Structure 1
Amino acid sequence: MRVVVAVSGTRGDVQPAAHLAAELHSRSHDVVAAFPPNLLSLASDHGVPVEPFGYDTRAHLASDAVRRGAHGSVIDRVRSAGELWNLGWSEMVADLSAVVHRERPDVVVTGITTEQVAVPLAESVRAAVVGLHHAPVRTNDVHLPGFGADGLPAPVTRAAWSAYETVLWTATRRRENTLRAGLGLPSARRPVPYRLADAGALEIQAYDAALCPPPAGGDGARRPLVGFLGGAPPSSPLPAGLAAWLDRGDPPVHIGFGSMPLRAAGRSLRRVTEAVRSLGLRALVAPGWNDLADDDALGTAPDVRVLTGDVDHAAVFPRCCVVVHHGGAGTTAAVLRAGRPAVVRPVSADQPFWGRRLEDAGAGVMLRGDDPSPAAWAAAIESAAACSDEARRVGDALVDPEDAVARAADLVESRLPVAR
């Protein structure tokens, strides 16, 4: 079987797809991973052939337009959305078109942010499409689009989904139909989700029923829930300096927001660090994709350590007492697998959704507000620490990450008979 796995976004978007690509590659399928140029190693480190797909997502998230969209006024956010709407579209089309027409795959696996590029290209070579979702992003009776508050009547929630799909399609149909015309395909008249449903396309739900049960109104057969995708536990030890620091004292509070752009990142991280130290705890700080200026130093106190580069969550989180993070699906899963409670301070996308899921499960707390005070951080960390038992219970209930990947690969393989 020939498979193209085409996903863009942050590490949290791409890493589950990389695990799936690696599993399919290990089964002797011909797999090519089309990932952002800054995240190609997530697949190439597993021996999977890679091709750059679209723009550098780290540079993208550091741009002024994205930061205005995440932290600006309502007017700033609207302007930012307009500026970003088509950013990278032509580049993604060109990159993925070259891969798909060269490889002529049987199956194209893609994510929610790239399906409007991937679906027409897959159709042009008669390949099956498999969606890979790390949160509920299709019409259901429980969870709102944009991951707003749950608990509304089912008809209201479904109407919200209908409105969301209509607005999105109205804004993007011209660019997709231009692509389709160039491929010799007829114009599409309905949003991608409806067309995929009509075709019976598989959409793998790469999250866990222990934290997010299948929503009412969903389609379990076409949208199977497999669990959070992951790989084997780390086989290499922690860096010697970090291991020695961890061994010198009590488990620290891990502070990290992954790829999310923070407003005044240095100040924000200092506030959390100050809160941790006020509780008599140590702080392990991971700036992630936030580049700190020279005057953003977090100090040289022996109870604070700043990490550089990527963090091996599976190796580090079990050594911590509480994990402060942004609420990305992958980080949420890693924290729970480590059996640790969390404080979630969401920035965007599905992060408030996962923060609420952790709160509902009693495995952590969500801190609202754009720039919480040290006192607010300290109170949240204390509250989270009291959730340790429930965090371990939920973590124990999660599907094994390797089993989840194997199940996802089985499902992709099931598409072969109808791929041509």
Structure 2
Amino acid sequence: MSRRVVIIAAGSRGDIQPCVALAQGLVARGDDVRLVASGRYAPMVGTAATAAARKDGGTGRGGMELAPLTADPTEILDSEAGQELLAGGRNPIRFLGGFRRILGPMAERLLAECLDACKGADLVLGPTLGLLPRHLGEYLGVPWALVHFQPSQPTGAFPHPFVPRSRALGPWGNRAGFLAVDQIAWQLSRPFINPWRRDVLGLPPLPLRGPMHDARRTGRPVLACFSPSVVPAPRDWPPYVHLTGYWFLDEPDWEPPPALAAFLDAGPPPVYVGFGSMRPEDPEATARVVRSALREAGVRGVVQSDPETSDDDVLAVRDVPHAWLFPRMAAVVHHGGAGTTAAGLRAGVPTVVCPFFGDQPYWGERVAALKAGPVPLPFRELTAPRLADAVRQAVRTPEMAERAAALGRHISAEDGVTRACEVLAKIA
């Protein structure tokens, strides 16, 4: 039986792509899916919807559409508040507090847009920030589930990605770190969530303790969309946490522009360097550091930049699908976003992570722990000599290349979208 599934996918490209991949899987099973995301990503959703319709063979059993949010993540990161957020590292108070300062003034508008997008929904999915799926599901009287892009379920096995120092206190400290992040997030979002519940949804305000305790007590389903090869499931995670594997959005029909194809054919595999939606405070200075590092490391490069800045040894590109590009690289250098890290690991090439903030340092540490790349190099510490040294390690360490290739094979054999769709099919 067809359902109307609403997926709240607020965030940057790395947050949107997995949700679009999941939407394609649900459409293939006959569901109608509405993605709630920035209008900036309308072309991505449109292309995916066309591909899903082509696979459907014209039966029209399911469909996909975008309910656009007016907030643009790129504009936010370019702003002064966005730059402060990027400088916050992995401190959970600064990170979540930064989100509150940015989203607070537009919260009323964004909540109204999410509510409008959920009309007629039979199932609501979304991230834990603000726990919007819970509020909307309660208001509509429909099931809801959470999506975790990084480990967010309490465990004694390892610390929360934002609170690495809690490991010094052992299993108790690790679990306490997860609960502390829950509380910080709730206390920062409570001032605008509770009035919205009361005045718009007609629901009672939630207590000081917040909604996560109740969600876990009742076994609300969680889809953890990362690979067990990268983050093995701890023994103390309950059955309602489903570690599905990554949700990859591929573009099999994509063809490279002639300049990119010619550059790749003209020499040995280059090294990719790009920082996704992250916005360095001084982009020109960053570009100089990157190019100097590539020259010092003695490698060719493909960099995320203005194509007009290309030269004989460095090709600058705009948006190129990572699924196509990364397997053709000798190594990849990026910010460590969950989606970009997943693409690099699946490609089976060594990864150099230069994290800015949030969970990015965590993914860099996982890459290093898996011996698929060197230790992460924080972006704020980026210099040409340090980046050159990391690149040399990545391209000249046979054991690292072998480990990256083996990990890539494991991840490629997983089918996270199918697993997630199977879980969602059982939610009534």
Q: TM-score scaled by structure 2?
A: 0.88
Report the CA distance shift for 1:10/1:340 in structure 2 as closer, same or farther (over 3 A): same
Percent identity between the aligned chains? 29
Counterparts of residues 358-373 of structure 1 (less than 5 Å): 358-365=367-374, 366-368=376-378, 370-373=380-383
Report the CA distance shift for 1:25/1:242 in structure 2 as closer, same or farther (over 3 A): same
Q: Determine the C-alpha separation between the residues in 1 that align with 2:98 and 2:359.
A: 19
Unaligned runs of 5+ in 2: 50-63
Aligned: 1:194 with 2:207? no
Query: 241, 261, 276: which is aligned to 2:294?
Result: 276
Counterparts of residues 132-171 of structure 1 (less than 5 Å): 132-141=147-156, 142-146=158-162, 148-149=164-165, 151-152=167-168, 153-171=170-188
Q: Which residue of 2 aligns with 1:119?
A: 134
Deviates most, 87-96 or 241-250: 87-96
2:19 is aligned with what amino acid? A
Q: Which residue of 1 aligns with 2:275?
A: 257
Deviates most, 47-56 or 143-152: 143-152
Q: Which residue of 2 aligns with 1:96?
A: 114
**1:53 touches 1:92 (CA, 8 Å); kept in 2?**
yes
Q: Which residue of 1 aligns with 2:82?
A: 66
Q: When you count helix as a share of all residues, which structure comes out higher?
A: 2
Q: Which residue of 2 aligns with 1:237?
A: 255
Aligned: 1:109 with 2:125? yes
Paired residue secondary structure (1:159):
helix
**1:110 touches 1:132 (CA, 8 Å); kept in 2?**
yes
Q: CA deviation at 1:171?
A: 2.6
**1:322 touches 1:341 (CA, 8 Å); kept in 2?**
yes
1:248 is aligned with what amino acid? A
**1:108 touches 1:128 (CA, 8 Å); kept in 2?**
yes
Query: For residues 361-403 of structure 1, what are the alpha-carbon distances to aligned partners after superposition, in whole Å with 9 as ceiling and x for unaligned?
Result: 00002113504211111111111221111100111111546x2
Counterparts of residues 33-52 of structure 1 (less than 5 Å): 33-47=35-49, 48-52=64-68
**1:147 touches 1:353 (CA, 8 Å); kept in 2?**
no
Q: Determine the C-alpha separation between the residues in 1 that align with 2:88 and 2:419.
A: 41
Residues matched between the structures, number? 402
Paired residue secondary structure (2:362):
helix
Q: Determine the C-alpha separation between the residues in 2 that align with 1:99 and 1:236.
A: 31
Aligned: 1:303 with 2:330? no
Q: TM-score scaled by structure 1?
A: 0.89
Q: Which residue of 1 aligns with 2:27?
A: 25
Report the CA distance shift for 1:263/1:405 in structure 2 as closer, same or farther (over 3 A): same
Q: CA deviation at 1:160?
A: 2.1
2:289 is aligned with what amino acid? R
Counterparts of residues 299-378 of structure 1 (less than 5 Å): 299-308=309-318, 310-365=319-374, 366-368=376-378, 370-378=380-388
Q: Determine the C-alpha separation between the residues in 2 that align with 1:267 and 1:275.
A: 12
Report the CA distance shift for 1:174/1:79 in structure 2 as closer, same or farther (over 3 A): closer
Deviates most, 356-365 or 176-185: 176-185
Q: Determine the C-alpha separation between the residues in 2 that align with 1:83 and 1:139.
A: 26
Q: Which residue of 1 aligns with 2:194?
A: 177
Paired residue secondary structure (2:35):
strand
**2:159 touches 2:178 (CA, 8 Å); kept in 1?**
no
1:69 is aligned with what amino acid? L
Paired residue secondary structure (2:215):
helix
1:397 is aligned with what amino acid? H
Unaligned runs of 5+ in 1: none
2:416 is aligned with what amino acid? A
What do you get for the CA RMSD once the two structures are aligned? 2.4
Query: 384, 388, 391: which is aligned to 2:404?
Result: 391
2:234 is aligned with what amino acid? P
Paired residue secondary structure (1:204):
strand
Query: For residues 261-303 of structure 1, what are the alpha-carbon distances to aligned partners after superposition, in whole Å with 9 as ceiling and x for unaligned?
Result: 213122112212211112221111014xxxx7xxxx9854301
Report the CA distance shift for 1:269/1:193 in structure 2 as closer, same or farther (over 3 A): farther
